[in-house]
Amino acid sequence: MLVLLDSEDECPARLLGPELLASISSEAADVPAVVTLAHREYETWFVAAAESLRGSSGLAADAVRPADPEVTRDAKGWLSERMADRYDPVRHQLAFTRSFDLVAARSVASFDRFCRKISALVAASP
Higher-confidence residue: 44 or 35? 44
Res 13: pLDDT? 65
Lowest mean pLDDT among 19-28, 40-49, 67-76, 114-123: 19-28
Which pLDDT tens digit goes with each residue over 62-114?
999 999 999 988 999 999 999 999 999 999 999 999 999 999 999 999 999 99
The answer for 58, left when phi > 0, alpha when psi is -120 to 50, beta otherwise, is left
DSSP 56: G
- Give the model's confidence band at 15: pLDDT under 50 very low, under 70 low, under 90 confident, else very high: low
Res 27: pLDDT? 81
DSSP 84: S
Res 17: pLDDT? 76
Cβ pair 33, 24 in contact under 8 A: yes
**In Å, what is the CA distance from 119 to each residue of 46, 72, 122, 123?**
20, 27, 5, 6
Res 12: pLDDT? 59
What is the spatial distance between Cα 37 and Cα 70, in angstroms, rounded to a whole number?
A: 12
pLDDT at position 46 over 80: yes
Helix (H) / strand (E) element for 75: namely helix 75-81
Average pLDDT taken over every residue of the chain:
89
SS3 content of the chain, % helix, strand, coil (to 5): 50, 10, 40
Res 57: pLDDT? 92
Cβ pair 110, 44 in contact under 8 A: yes
pLDDT at position 14 over 70: no
